[in-house]
Amino acid sequence: MSKACHTQMMKKYENQIPTDMSMSLTTIFSLLRDSLKGRAKRNPAANIDVGTFRLADTITVQHAARVTWFGHSAFLLEIEGKRLLFDPMLGNRA
């Protein structure tokens, strides 16, 4: 592997959308107080609609690509008779 290629692979992630993550001391104490007193907004403001999923309602297409999501960033891709597991925790840089 060339040095340039290796350097490109090891590049640090950079968020493309500028995001201000600074917090004032007042904000930090307010969050801490709300969390300790149980006043944190842990529940949604309104009920969340829940839909029912039935496997029998899905359409099965032979030779179609399938994706199975395991949560967070892990998923299984089945395409053209091959199965590819994508999970960043299995990498040596995780």
Among residues 72, 10, 78, the alpha carbon closest in space to that of 87 is found at 72
Q: How many angstroms separate the CA atoms of 45 and 41, rounded?
A: 9
pTM for the model stands at 0.36
Q: What is the pLDDT of residues 13-66, one digit of tens each?
A: 777 888 888 889 998 888 888 888 876 666 777 888 888 877 666 666 777 788
- The three-state DSSP-derived secondary structure of 29-93 is HHHHHHHHCCCCCCCCCCCCCCCCCCHHHCCCCCCCCEEEEEECCEEEEEECCEEEEECHHHCCC
Q: How far is CA 11 from the centre of its chain?
A: 20
